[in-house]
Amino acid sequence: MKSAHGNGSGTLYIVATPIGNLEDLSPRASAVLSRVAVIAAEDTRHSGRLLQHLGIRKPMIALHDHNERDRAAQVLDRLEGGDDVALISDAGTPLISDPGFVLVRQARERGVRVTPVPGPCALVAALSAAGLPTDRFLFAGFLPAKRGARRTELESLADTSATLVFYESPHRILETVAEIRDVMGATRELVLGRELTKTFETFYAGEAGEVCEAIERDPNGARGEFVVMVGGAPLKADAGESGEVNTDKLLSLLMAELPVKKVAKIVAELTGRPKNELYQRALTLKAE
Ligand code: SAM
**Which pTM does this prediction carry?**
0.84
Whether 43 is in the pocket of ligand 1, judged by its Cβ within 6 Å, is: no
Is 92 found in the same domain as 108? yes
What's the rounded Cα separation, in Å, for the pair 259 and 257? 7
What's the rounded Cα separation, in Å, for the pair 99 and 207? 34
Is residue 118 a contact partner of residue 17, using CB atoms and an 8 Å limit?
Answer: no
Domain that holds residue 163: 123-230
From 171, 226, 229, mutation site for ligand 1 pocket: most ligand atoms within 8 A of C-beta: 226
Is 180 found in the same domain as 82? no
Whether 89 is in the pocket of ligand 1, judged by its Cβ within 6 Å, is: yes
CA of 196 to the centre of ligand 1 (A): 9
Is 84 found in the same domain as 181? no
222 confidence band (pLDDT: 50, 70, 90) = confident
Q: Residues near 11 by Cβ (< 8 Å), separated by ≥ 6?
A: 79, 84, 85, 112, 113, 114, 115
273 confidence band (pLDDT: 50, 70, 90) = confident
Whether 225 is in the pocket of ligand 1, judged by its Cβ within 6 Å, is: yes
Query: Is residue 206 packed enough to be buried (19+ CB in 10 Å), middle (13-18) or exposed (0-12)?
Result: middle
pLDDT at 237 over 60: no
Amino acid symbol at 193:
G
Give the three-class secondary structure for 84.
Answer: coil
Is 85 found in the same domain as 24? yes
Question: Is the residue at 242 inside a domain?
Answer: no
Question: Is the residue at 6 inside a domain?
Answer: no
pLDDT in tens, 85-109: 999 999 999 999 999 999 999 999 9
- Of the three residues 120, 137, 161, the one that is the final residue of a domain is 120
Q: What is the mean pLDDT of residues 179-198?
A: 97
CA of 189 to the centre of ligand 1 (A): 21
Q: For position 77, what pLDDT does the model report?
A: 96
Question: Is the residue at 86 inside a domain?
Answer: yes
- Of the three residues 71, 102, 120, the one that is the final residue of a domain is 120
DSSP class of 171: G
pLDDT in tens, 117-137: 999 999 999 999 999 999 999
Is 104 found in the same domain as 128? no
Is 218 found in the same domain as 265? no
What's the rounded Cα separation, in Å, for the pair 182 and 64? 35
How distant, in Å, are the alpha carbons of 6, 37, 226 from that of 166? 40, 35, 9
What's the rounded Cα separation, in Å, for the pair 278 and 22? 39
pLDDT in tens, 56-65: 999 999 999 9
Question: Is the residue at 2 inside a domain?
Answer: no
Q: For position 3, what pLDDT does the model report?
A: 47
Q: For position 63, what pLDDT does the model report?
A: 95
Is 149 found in the same domain as 50? no
Is 128 found in the same domain as 192? yes
Is 214 found in the same domain as 185? yes
pLDDT at 254 over 60: yes
% of the chain residues with pLDDT over 90? 83
- Of the three residues 91, 120, 149, the one that is the final residue of a domain is 120
CATH number of the domain to which 23 belongs: 3.40.1010.10
Whether 180 is in the pocket of ligand 1, judged by its Cβ within 6 Å, is: no
